[in-house]
Structure 1
Amino acid sequence: MRRNIKSYLIVDGYNIINAWDDLKYIAISDLEGAREKLIDLIIEYAEFTGRKAIIVFDAYNIKNSKETVENRKHIQVVYTKEHQTADSYIEKFITSLSKYDDVKVATNDYAEQQIVLGKGAARISSRELKLDLEHAKKSMKEKNSSNQKKIQRNWLEDRLDKETLSKLENIRRMH
């Protein structure tokens, strides 16, 4: 029996923001900007790899916050409810998936990594995620540049000598 295996990348949002210097620097003055930059990077990654990406931001210390889920292009962005950590959300989410699904969880949190591994998912560190993103971006650029080369026009006039081109032009004008 063939199973419909799904591929997921689950990202512990704030953990990754705090692990990457460029995002951590943005977050000092603009947390929303850092979140959006991470979201944009993960959208590109998901688009290229075909993985369903879920970024989880916890609202653990935000009073009266309700869980919200934003569906964006190729990804879901989850903001947890009050008193729920990203770790607990991720753990619960992984448990809801099929044991046959291909699941990667990006976090540097050691306790979370152990839980993830115990649930049968793979864990990747923030560093590995950054390398994966850079590889995907590089591959996309290479793919796009090779597509551009294929799209270049291929006209007869570009391949004929001037004399033959002149004769054909004269024939065209006579008719």
Structure 2
Amino acid sequence: MKYIGKEMKKNKFVPRKILIVDGYNVINAWSKLKQISKDNLEEARDKLISNIQEYAKLKGYEAYVVFDAYNVKGCDEKLENHHGITVIFTRENQTADSYIEKFISGLSKYDEIAVATSDYAEQQIVLGKGCTRISSRELIGDLNNAKEELRNSNKNTTKKYNDMNRLENRIDSDILNRLENMRRNRK
């Protein structure tokens, strides 16, 4: 009996938190990125990826950003790893929607899957497969809120450190430097 219990614990499935982002859909919904994409689409993609990296770290997601190459001739599917975020460029004649639909079908039903898109038809498919849908606007708002919470948390930590009753907070910086030099046997 003990052996069966150990074996079950060893093979216990841990569900993953997965975020899948329809890249161009979110870029077109985010006014700042949409403006950038008019001049430089690659820069807009890079900024989106950077924001999704931050968001995924803050929220604990395993993140995938899907960009379609629907009208790009001779393009094969391409996967890139950007500091823990998987960026997918679909093959020629494949939309991001069809890729995402196929991708979520291959994931475990126990995984917590969220798909960020504002495409209504895609949202219905996502919900039908038991996933959570996040509209592009919700994702942008949640990302901004998460960043603001982190900034406030950092401010509070810094303030708490500065409010401590520490010698370095109570004496002149010149005297502090002299004391530090004395401590290190320097003159």
Identity of aligned residues (%): 57
Moved over 6 A (4+): none
Report if the CA contact (8 A) 1:106-1:123 is conserved: yes
Among 98, 123, 147, which residue is 1:88 paired with? 98
Report how far residue 24 of structure 1 moved. 1.0
Partner deviation per Cα, 1:59-78 (whole Å, 9 max, x = no partner):
11111111111111231111
Alignment partner for residue 148 of structure 1, among 158, 168, 175?
158
Alignment partner for residue 59 of structure 2, among 30, 49, 60?
49
Partners of 1:149 and 1:90 lie apart in 2 by 44
TM-score by length of 1: 0.84
1:10 paired to 2:20? yes
CA distance in 1 between partners of 2:63 and 2:103 (Å): 12
Q: How many residues align?
A: 162
Q: Deviations over 1:108-148 (max 9, x none)?
A: 11111111011110111111101110111011112222333
1:38 matched to 2:48: yes
1:114 corresponds to which of 103, 107, 124: 124
How many Å separate the matches in 2 of 1:147 and 1:51? Answer: 25
Q: Are 1:47 and 1:74, in contact at CA under 8 Å, matched by a contact in 2?
A: no
Shift of the 151–66 alpha-carbon distance from structure 1 to 2, 3 Å rule, reads farther
User: Cα RMSD (Å) of the superposition?
Assistant: 2.2
1:119-130 correspondence runs (5 A): 119-130=129-140
- Where does structure 2 lack aligned partners over 5 or more consecutive residues? 1-7, 172-178, 180-187
- 2:102 is paired with a residue whose SS is helix
Return the TM-score normalized by structure 2.
0.79
Structure 1, unaligned stretches of length 5 or more?
Answer: 161-168, 170-175
How far did 1:154 drift? Answer: 5.4
Looking at structure 1, the residues matched to 165 and 110 of structure 2 have their Cα atoms a distance apart, in angstroms, of 47
Does structure 2 conserve the Cα–Cα contact (< 8 Å) formed by 1:13 and 1:35? yes
